[in-house]
Structure 1
Amino acid sequence: MPLNFNLPYQSYSFTEFWKKWHISLTSFLTKYIYIPLGGNRRGKVVMYTNTMIVFFISGFWHGANYTFIIWGLIHGTILCMNKLLNEKFNRITPALRWIITFGIVMLCWVFFRSNNINDAIFIIKKIMVCDFQPLDVSLTNLIHFPEINMLLSFIGLSKMIEHTELMFVIAILLIFLYVMIEKNIILEVKENFIKFKKYRFVFLYCFMGFWSLLNMNEVVTFIYEMF
């Protein structure tokens, strides 16, 4: 099986992000849409136009909702700006380039995961003013992870569920820590297959089993069900 996600959240630019994110889909769209349209062989205007067409199709491919279209168009626009201002952007310190790239990608996910455009705009406004008070019930489901709540209850920290602001900060810190220390598990298996097979799969299977038990009473929504 080919590598499909190669640590995209460690990218320092949007160009790098899309070389590492959903590689199979990116390769398919590049080969069958971007290149037949002319790719980057007919000047910058055509190249940027082709890029926007590809990301429009990418958004629609993910689901029949305006939120997915906007998600794709935002990614296409930022990618075009990244290519246009590539030299100036590369002069910025790597840490700041990562923060900018990661931050924009996270904001884009709000559109991807929201039920409609109004919900997405409402959540982004909340983020911008650092207002992490409980959202409307219909929006709370977007950031509701019953497994985490059950795990906190299991270890005696159920009261933390009520503290939305604290939970949000902890989640951000954990995501940041994971992104910075994450290693590509597929490449690691290839490089250390025997050692990984003997020791790490035991932990992996135990973790998956424990997580499945926590999630037995919940119905998992397939991410592409709206398509």
Structure 2
Amino acid sequence: SELTALTAWCVILGYTLQLYFDFSGYCDLAAGCARLLGLRLPINFDSPYRSLSVTEFWKRWHMTLTAFLRENVYFPLGGSRKGRGCTYLNILVVYLVSGIWHGAGWTFILWGLLHGLAQVLERLWGKRRDALPRWVRWAMTFLFINLAWVFFRAPDVSSALLLLKTAVTGGMGGIRLWLVNGLFRREISALELLLPVIGPYTAYLRVALILGIGLLAALWPRNVIRQMDTFRPNWRSGLYVLAWTVWAILSFTGVVTFIYSNF
């Protein structure tokens, strides 16, 4: 209730990025540790936020879960072999199961059904949707994914609806300072000493940095999986990794756990 529309959208986009980096980063760590032992784990995330449809999103997001549900739920139900009506029903059942798999609550059930309905609508729309410009299809898909994640995160349906209502009717006020108080605290303090003039704009600078860098990394064409195929260690990559590692260690703020550990 204390959010403006702008801040509500920052919260929604922030969680969208947090969830992706948590899930995908966890899998990158697991894959890296496995390669140290000479093992190659299956790819689980492949730049899902670059998808042009919700159907494509699920081919790129949590790919092992998608394959499991396809092989053990969708195909046994008949897949797409029993007519269009049964196909649509099977899709809804699969994503209802996906919602329940993530948590036994109405928010997860609703999240799963939303993704199922989106894929049914995409099939009904058919080639007319494919004729739209790529950026339009991406924007529609990414907007839907952001809105659906609200139900995934919210403690209950009423809280999710309140946040979505605030995102539309919350007014045009600025970003709340309490929301970004701890974000890049050390870095911004050092920058303010050098450039005192940026003081009034630090809240917007912090949000632009975290969301801008996050979006750039999530949408970058050559993701970690693609880079691992061609990566060769050298002194430049060593310095690059060292700089990020030092910054990460200096930025520690406490003990955190992966969101994915809840599932």
- Which runs of 5 or more structure 1 residues have no equivalent in the other structure? none
Task: Quickly say closer, same or farther: Cα 1:152–1:160, change in 2 above 3 A.
Answer: farther
In the TM superposition, residue 213 of structure 1 has moved relative to its aligned partner by: 3.6
- Equivalent residues of 2:114, 2:148 under 8 A apart: yes
Matched, 1:220 2:260: no
Q: Identify the residue that residue 81 of structure 2 maps to in structure 1.
A: 41
- Which runs of 5 or more structure 2 residues have no equivalent in the other structure? 1-40
**Quick one: which amino acid aligns to residue 223 of structure 1?**
I
Matched, 1:53 2:93: yes
| Structure 1 range deviating more: 170-179 or 63-72 | 170-179
Q: Identify the residue that residue 229 of structure 2 maps to in structure 1.
A: 190
Q: Identify the residue that residue 2 of structure 1 maps to in structure 2.
A: 42
| Structure 1 range deviating more: 177-186 or 16-25 | 177-186
- Equivalent residues of 1:63, 1:224 under 8 A apart: no
Matched, 1:204 2:241: yes
Q: Identify the residue that residue 63 of structure 2 maps to in structure 1.
A: 23
**Quick one: which amino acid aligns to residue 110 of structure 1?**
V
Task: Quickly say closer, same or farther: Cα 1:202–1:167, change in 2 above 3 A.
Answer: closer
**Quick one: which amino acid aligns to residue 128 of structure 1?**
V
Which residue among 106, 121, 130 is the counterpart of 1:66?
A: 106
Which residue among 77, 83, 88 is the counterpart of 2:117?
A: 77
Matched residues in 1 for 2:221 and 2:153: separation?
24
Identical positions, percent? 32
Which residue among 169, 177, 188 is the counterpart of 1:152?
A: 188
RMSD: 3.0
In the TM superposition, residue 201 of structure 1 has moved relative to its aligned partner by: 5.0
- Equivalent residues of 1:12, 1:101 under 8 A apart: yes
In the TM superposition, residue 72 of structure 1 has moved relative to its aligned partner by: 0.9
Q: Identify the residue that residue 6 of structure 2 maps to in structure 1.
A: none
RCO greater where, 1 or 2, for CA within 8 Å and sep 6 or more? 2
**Quick one: which amino acid aligns to residue 115 of structure 2?**
H
Matched residues in 2 for 1:197 and 1:4: separation?
27
In the TM superposition, residue 101 of structure 1 has moved relative to its aligned partner by: 0.5
